[in-house]
Structure 1
């Protein structure tokens, strides 16, 4: 890793606390663990599970031949694994490893059977690798996340899992992300009602595959689709090609950000619900203080027959996915 790139992590939620690019931290966060415990209602930097996003009515309709009722922490639905989801749990680590010739930090969490209403004991492994790439004289800061999970208990034959990272990016360094220029790699999205898909994939109403500028008139909290044919999506997507999901830039800082993943979908959220008080030497953060790209499987996949194979983790199999953030200053 070179001198233009660094990152900091917490064992709480295996949170990404900082991602520094050419001297500028581009993710929202706090300076202490206590501040995260008290004020992190937006899930800054957290790894989300056991199931990211929403499950309709908080009900897993069928799993292990039965129905499971989850906490309705986002009425009328379950959200982000519950109010005490993985993003608010203490992970073991970091353990320093070498993967693909690069120094990697490993955080692990053992989620017990029945935790937040979910069946089966699951071990989640989160691998962080920070590096630099130099191309045509330009240094790019790279932060790679690799997820791996297994059903390690004998309580049941299968469980459900869908993990993502909930980092909020701000590449202009101001109180809001206004003026950030964005471009998504897909026009396909899932129309939602109360955060749950209404039906089939449709084209997004405005053009998002051409550059547009952040501002109050451009608010997003939508699920965009990279792979329409879920029969092609395995439980472990790490062997799939990395695809560019979205890219961002800001003229004032000359910073650029790209988000890549192996996942079939992503939630794009412009942070209009952020409401964090001044604390611990950090200023208050309000609406639009950061934006999220959350790569994952489809929302409520466990309850949709054509989607559920992507989130059902049987005994003896592995769930996996990869997210890569690339950032640089022109």
Structure 2
């Protein structure tokens, strides 16, 4: 696990961090009951607050990032992630996976099948004809145990754990998983993922937060500018399964190597955009090594907010909220329509168990799955 404190330099925003910390006090954490499931299981909500006033709420149901309150250029706080204000909606309506931990396998597996060590495994096909985000009852629908909370002068956080039994959703092996959320005084949400298994299996964990830097429920994200440190992506077929090709973004609507408005090319006549009804693709990050590296920057000129995504993962799924259809009402009482939020899911590649040329997602006994992703919020850079 990568240590949280001091990972990324504080943004050069002109903020006097010492003065701000004195104004807001020490980081804090509090919890209360959020609701009760039909079987009587209680679900809690944890509120993390740093010394700058940034606030993050986390549900034990699905490990969901329920809200992320960050300042704009004038210091005004607003929630920048999509979600619901009640448990029933998360249980009954969260097909978009708002804010949830995704597992055992984030993204799609073709036909819900893969072969490992000569044995074929059949998973749920909950996204016909494919397997998506862990199946019918994935990690996003499990109640996680809070196994630790912590707080010091520079950060506050909680550790969530879940044990997935052998054959759950068709996956082999008992998987012990821990996800740690840390909110730092640099306005970072640090997400550390760890997992071990007692039998060979496949694992690909991520978080499915949707962002709108103008504020949740404020409208389209097509005016946001996105930079992806990725010269290649993995094209898909009409069911959104990778073809196996690792294609250059050069000369395509998928070239975000320079900051580009999301809406600039989203309606181009390009087969891949037609398949996804917009962007719903894995980008191959231009990595220099195995540590934390910048994967993406998202900026909004209206609010002055920037989101920087750092990760140890080899890929990132950019999903432009294509299937939001106006039927869901979010935390602020507004309906979510197509493109009202976007996801930047750090990950290994989709369908890797069936793609020998993709980075492996196999985890074996004695090994530890260990990845880290950071969402860092700061004022937008000049010119963005």
Query: Whole-Å Cα distance in 2 between the matches of residues 285 and 102 of structure 1?
Result: 32
Which residue of 2 is the match for residue 327 of structure 1? Answer: 377
1:3 is paired with a residue whose SS is coil
Native 8 Å contact 2:126 2:132 kept in 1: yes
Which residue of 2 is the match for residue 301 of structure 1? Answer: 352
Question: Cα offset for 1:15?
Answer: 0.6
Once the two structures are overlaid, the 10-residue window that deviates more, 39-48 or 200-209, is: 200-209
Query: Whole-Å Cα distance in 2 between the matches of residues 43 and 314 of structure 1?
Result: 28
Indicate whether 1:266 and 2:311 are aligned.
Answer: no
What do the CA deviations read for 1:288-320 (whole angstroms, capped 9, x no partner)? 110011111111111223436x31111111101
CA spacing shift, 1:305–1:274, aligned 2, 3 Å: same
2:344 is paired with a residue whose SS is strand
1:198 is paired with a residue whose SS is coil
Which is higher, the Rg of structure 1 or of structure 2?
Answer: 2
- Aligned alpha-carbon RMSD (Å): 2.1
Query: Whole-Å Cα distance in 1 between the matches of residues 60 and 377 of structure 2?
Result: 24
CA spacing shift, 1:247–1:77, aligned 2, 3 Å: same
Instruction: Give me the TM-score of the superposition, normalised by structure 1.
Output: 0.87
Native 8 Å contact 2:84 2:329 kept in 1: no
Native 8 Å contact 2:82 2:330 kept in 1: no
Query: Whole-Å Cα distance in 2 between the matches of residues 81 and 300 of structure 1?
Result: 12
In structure 1, which of residues 186, 190, 200 is the aligned counterpart of residue 234 of structure 2?
Answer: 190
What do the CA deviations read for 1:44-99 (whole angstroms, capped 9, x no partner)? 00111101111111101x22431011111111111111121111111111621369
Choose between structure 1 and 2 for higher RCO, CA contacts under 8 A separated by at least 6 residues.
1
1:196 is paired with a residue whose SS is coil
Native 8 Å contact 1:93 1:106 kept in 2: yes
Gaps of 5+ in 1: 134-140, 233-239
Native 8 Å contact 2:154 2:185 kept in 1: no
In structure 2, which of residues 281, 284, 288 is the aligned counterpart of residue 222 of structure 1?
Answer: 281
In structure 1, which of residues 286, 291, 315 is the aligned counterpart of residue 337 of structure 2?
Answer: 286
Query: Whole-Å Cα distance in 1 between the matches of residues 152 and 203 of structure 2?
Result: 24
1:192 is paired with a residue whose SS is coil
In structure 1, which of residues 29, 39, 47 is the aligned counterpart of residue 83 of structure 2?
Answer: 29
Native 8 Å contact 1:106 1:125 kept in 2: yes
CA spacing shift, 1:271–1:83, aligned 2, 3 Å: same
Query: Whole-Å Cα distance in 2 between the matches of residues 224 and 146 of structure 1?
Result: 21
Native 8 Å contact 1:10 1:33 kept in 2: no
Query: Whole-Å Cα distance in 2 between the matches of residues 307 and 210 of structure 1?
Result: 25
What do the CA deviations read for 1:235-267 (whole angstroms, capped 9, x no partner)? xxxxx3211111111111111111111100111
Question: Cα offset for 1:104?
Answer: 2.5
CA spacing shift, 1:55–1:64, aligned 2, 3 Å: same
In structure 2, which of residues 102, 117, 135 is the aligned counterpart of residue 82 of structure 1?
Answer: 135
In structure 2, which of residues 128, 145, 148 is the aligned counterpart of residue 92 of structure 1?
Answer: 145
| Correspondence 1:158-173 to 2 at 5 A | 158-173=200-215
Native 8 Å contact 1:35 1:280 kept in 2: no
Native 8 Å contact 1:5 1:131 kept in 2: no
Query: Whole-Å Cα distance in 2 between the matches of residues 129 and 123 of structure 1?
Result: 20
Question: Cα offset for 1:3?
Answer: 2.9
Question: Cα offset for 1:183?
Answer: 1.4
Native 8 Å contact 1:180 1:250 kept in 2: yes
Gaps of 5+ in 2: 1-49, 72-76, 267-277
Instruction: Give me the TM-score of the superposition, normalised by structure 2.
Output: 0.76
Query: Whole-Å Cα distance in 2 between the matches of residues 311 and 98 of structure 1?
Result: 33
